[in-house]
Amino acid sequence: MTAVITTSGLTKRFGRVTAVDGVDLQVTEGARFGLLGPNGSGKTTLIRMLLGLVHPTAGSMQLLGHAMPRGAAEALPQVGALVENPAAWGHLSGRANLRLLDAAGRGGRVRDRKARVDDALDRVGLGGVDRRPVRAYSLGMRQRLGIAAALLRSPRLLLLDEPSNGLDPRGINEMRELFTELNAAGTTVVLSSHLLAEVEALCTRVGLMDAGRLVLDADLDALRAPTGFVLLRTPDSARAVALLDGRLDGAPVAGSGGDPELRVRHDDPGALNAELVAAGVRVTALSAQRRSLEQVVFELTGAGSDRVERARTDAEPVGAPPR
């Protein structure tokens, strides 16, 4: 498939700090790609480099087949982007902001421009917005306006950095449905976020950054493949333990439904269920255990860059109050 994003050894240093460290990434056309990572892991810097807003220290990159930043004039008209906090002229209305952005980005007849602006506002749930200046908007309205600006050019590629910032749960769900709809119509969606649930609900492929490095690039379904264990809940735990001797991982534990839960080494829940039923063991729940995206992220990343621990002296006891 055609690659819409390709990077090779992409690196960005700010003085002694390496924000992005030798990233090799390829995103194919039509993908819903989630770029995950703790705060400060390099996600935003990577997106800013792709858009030509920051020049790399080393490495190369292509956007929609054009080398960046040299090919920005050819690539960027096909890209819709939302990076960090959406910018706007605060004294103008949202509609006036979009008209100015559209005129600067593509020109065209005023009638066509008005239709494009109205369509973008309708898509993000701001179709009935009045003449209030943007400075009077709520944070959620500002975020919706930023997404509308990214949609003005009917982009082939959407680059979205933390698009759910400021949105309430309903707004997050509405934007997720919008991005899915756009993707089904052919738009490649690349979403950067530190929120696991947001990426897990929308994306089909995941890249994980940690300390500037891309430490994972894989299909989400492959990451959540069965672990080789089956979770079994049964009121007949003693009989199940005797039957499954040697195949249990640990002792029974209290289950959410009241019946004890056992972790069984088995690749086929259906075959295990048939064995249990044949032996007269009652089964109230049975499911293949899968790794969650949260487990994958915790295994591959550190504590996160927004933790700042204070070093203690040898004489200072653990648990001592901060000075």
- pLDDT, one tens digit per residue, over 192-215 is 988 888 899 999 999 999 999 999
In a domain, residue 301? The reply is no
User: In the prediction, which pLDDT does 60 show?
Assistant: 97
Residue 305 CA to residue 78 CA, distance in Å, equals 33
In a domain, residue 137? The reply is yes
Residues 6+ apart with CB under 8 A from 27: 3, 4, 5, 33, 188, 190, 205
pLDDT tens profile 231-242: 999 999 999 999
Q: Are residues 278 and 181 in the same domain?
A: no
Residue 244 CA to residue 75 CA, distance in Å, equals 60
CATH at 103: 3.40.50.300
Residue 192 CA to residue 214 CA, distance in Å, equals 13
In a domain, residue 303? The reply is no
Model pTM score: 0.80
Number of domains in the chain: 2
Residue 250 CA to residue 151 CA, distance in Å, equals 52
Query: Does position 19 have pLDDT exceeding 60, yes or no?
Result: yes
User: In the prediction, which pLDDT does 87 show?
Assistant: 85
Q: Are residues 21 and 148 in the same domain?
A: yes
In a domain, residue 321? The reply is no
Is there a contact between 59 and 24 (Cβ–Cβ < 8 Å)?
Answer: no
Q: Are residues 16 and 133 in the same domain?
A: yes
User: In the prediction, which pLDDT does 219 show?
Assistant: 93
The helix-helix angle for 110-123 and 94-105 (nearest 10°) equals 120
Q: Are residues 64 and 208 in the same domain?
A: yes
Residue 123 CA to residue 175 CA, distance in Å, equals 9
Boundaries of domain holding 152: 3-222
Q: Are residues 197 and 244 in the same domain?
A: no
Which residues make beta-bridge pairs with 297?
none
Q: What is the DSSP string of 249-313?
A: SS--EE-TTSSEEEEEE-S-HHHHHHHHHHTT---SEEEEEE--HHHHHHHHS-S-TT--PPP--
Q: Are residues 88 and 167 in the same domain?
A: yes
Q: Are residues 214 and 231 in the same domain?
A: no
> Among residues 164, 192, 222, which one ends one of the domains?
222
Q: Are residues 239 and 198 in the same domain?
A: no
pLDDT tens profile 80-136: 999 988 889 999 999 999 999 988 876 556 778 899 999 999 999 999 999 999 999
Q: Are residues 259 and 197 in the same domain?
A: no
Which residues make beta-bridge pairs with 12?
20
Q: Are residues 113 and 253 in the same domain?
A: no
